[in-house]
Amino acid sequence: MTKLNELDQAGQSIWYDFIRRDMVTGSGLADLVTEGIRGVTSNPSIFDNAIGGSDLYDEQLASLTTTDAQTAFDALAITDIKDAADILAGVYSDSGGHDGYVSLEVSPRLAHDTDGTISDAKRLWAAVDRPNLMVKVPATPAGIPAIEELTGDGININATLMFSLADYEAVATAYVRGTLRATDPTRLASVASFFVSRVDAATDAALDAIGTPEALAARGKAAIANAKLAYRRYQEVFEGPQFKEQANKGVRAQRALWASTSTKNPTYRDVMYVEDLIGPNTVNTAPPATIDAFLDHGIVRTGSLLSDVDEAAALIASLPEIGVDFDAITAQLQVDGVASFAAAYDNLLGTISAKLG
Catalytic site residue from 136, 221, 228, 249: 136
d(CA 265, CA 285): 19
What string of DSSP letters covers 112-146?
A: T-HHHHHHHHHHHHHHH--TTEEEEEE-STTHHHH
| Residue 87 CA: distances (Å) to CA of 24, 78, 280, 329 | 8, 14, 25, 39
d(CA 16, CA 32): 9
**Where are the extended beta strands (E) located within the chain?**
12-17, 39-41, 101-105, 133-138, 157-162, 190-195, 255-259, 282-286
CB 163 within 8 A of CB 334: yes
Does residue 3 have an active-site annotation? no
CB 37 within 8 A of CB 92: no
User: What is the torsional sign of CA 37, 42, 47, 53?
Assistant: negative
Q: Which of 296, 344, 283 is nearest to 50 (CA)?
A: 344
| Residue 308 zone, left/alpha/beta (φ > 0; ψ -120 to 50; rest) | left
Q: Which of 69, 143, 61 is nearest to 105 (CA)?
A: 143
* HSE-up of residue 152 (Cα within 13 Å, Cβ side): 13
Read off φ and ψ for residue 42, nearest 5 degrees: -135, 165
Residue 209's CB is within 10 A of a number of other CB atoms, namely 10
- Annotated active-site positions, please? 136
